[in-house]
Amino acid sequence: MPQQQTDNASTMTYPANTSLETLEKRISERICHVGIYGLGYVGLPLALRFAQVGIRVTGFDIDVHKVETLNGGHSYIERITSEQIATAQAAGFIATNDFALTTDVDIQIICVPTPLDSHHQPDLSYVTDTVDSILPYFREGQILSLESTTWPGTTEELLEPRLRAKGFIPGENCALVYSPEREDPGNAQYQTADIPKVIGGTTQRCLDLGVSLYSLAIKTMVPVSTPKVAEMTKLLENIHRAVNIGLVNEMKIVADKMGINIHEVIKAAATKPFGFVPYTPGPGLGGHCIPIDPFYLTWKAKEYGINTRFIELAGEINHYMPHWVVQKVADALNDHGKPVKGSRILVLGLAYKKNIDDTRESPAVEIMALLQDKGALVEYSDPHVPIFPQKRDYSFDLKSVDLTPAAIAAYDCLVLATDHDAFNYGNLTIFPKLLIDTRGRLPIHPQIVSA
């Protein structure tokens, strides 16, 4: 196993290079200037963490609204407060969409999305577009670090050739590393500083410089031998979860057909003190990582003639779950003498998991779209998402509904898609005509159907 390290300086010696020696000195003296490219759920917390330890940070984003909001001292992410933005600004943090300022920073850290295209193929356009926007202003003695989740080989096969084509040779006059993000929105136990950081460099000198940089802000560094190892590590972490969630979702369908409460089964199995890790079923996978990352590996594996059947099967099961929920809604309405078409349905929770405002790849959104396609009159309630956000594939002109008893009783069916703690679950057991519980949050009740 690679040895964990937290030291800020390399013990190795290298051939003299003024630009990299200057960079190393600026990092060790804590006067380096960090650029974060992509100020979303990954980039903004990282930018604030560097600012918190006294490192000057410039944040780059093509979204003018984000730039203006941050420079106005406000946050657009629920868990990040305006006070945190103000503290970072006092430490020198600014946001910009002017990539020419790349020349002024010592480090470029890329934290942009890596989605799938309409054919479920990896879409690295955000990464390559960002790199291509950086390169005209890139100079010797800078570090380029990619944090976006991607397939093994991206750093060395896509980024390094772009640098070399401009005369920048990693390990000689610049540095190139890959260090995958490990953010977990809504997890109060682990903040950015506390999560061990995996990193791989294209050369040993690149790795040492990258470790020295991130050690300024992250408590524990986990260096690995190559960027490919770091890229594969990120995929394994999320595929591990996707496969196990796929398993428990399939078990839920089987248990439902047998009249067994899967949540009771999981609680009983979790009492075993060894050999079992509990995973919770739900209406599907959400967030930017788990629904997407497996397809990055399955796509790359085909280049080597390998079919990743196990991973793809888990993906199929998880992708099916919103359809399963919608069928449960249709069956339950039918039992109450109503068709889906024309029924008023309220989806509870728009975020992909509880107690956050992140709706990326949320199964709740797909459930809304599927119900609407069947003619339902769909609305939603989410205390963390007051207005339906702009999305590439879905468009709803909606605002969150307040969950008053009168409002609850006005709908033909409620669908608990995300079990936020802020919901009044007492009201949800009294006032609904019908409620579909996809999270196992509510007790057995005549008007409540588990899905």
User: Is the distance from CB of 229 to CB of 44 less than 8 angstroms?
Assistant: no
**DSSP structure string for 149-204:** ---TTHIIIIIHHHHHHTT--BTTTBEEEE------TT-SS--GGGS-EEEEESSH
Rounded distance, CA 128 to CA 38, Å?
13
Instruction: Give the torsion sign (CA, 214, 216, 220, 223).
Output: positive
Angle between helices 293-302 and 309-335 (to 10 degrees): 140
Rounded distance, CA 294 to CA 300, Å?
10
Structure tokens at 431: 């006032």
Rounded distance, CA 426 to CA 34, Å?
48
The three-state DSSP-derived secondary structure of 112-159 is CCCCECCCCCECCHHHHHHHHHHHHHCCCCCEEEECCCCCCCHHHHHH
Instruction: Please say if 289 is a catalytic residue.
Output: yes
Angle between helices 363-373 and 309-335 (to 10 degrees): 50
CA–CA distance from 288 to each of 63, 211, 296, 362 (Å)?
18, 26, 12, 9
**Which one of 32, 174, 206, 289 is the catalytic residue?**
289
Task: Report how far Cα 441 is from the mean position of its chain's Cα atoms.
Answer: 24
- Give the residue numbers annotated as catalytic, written as ranges: 289
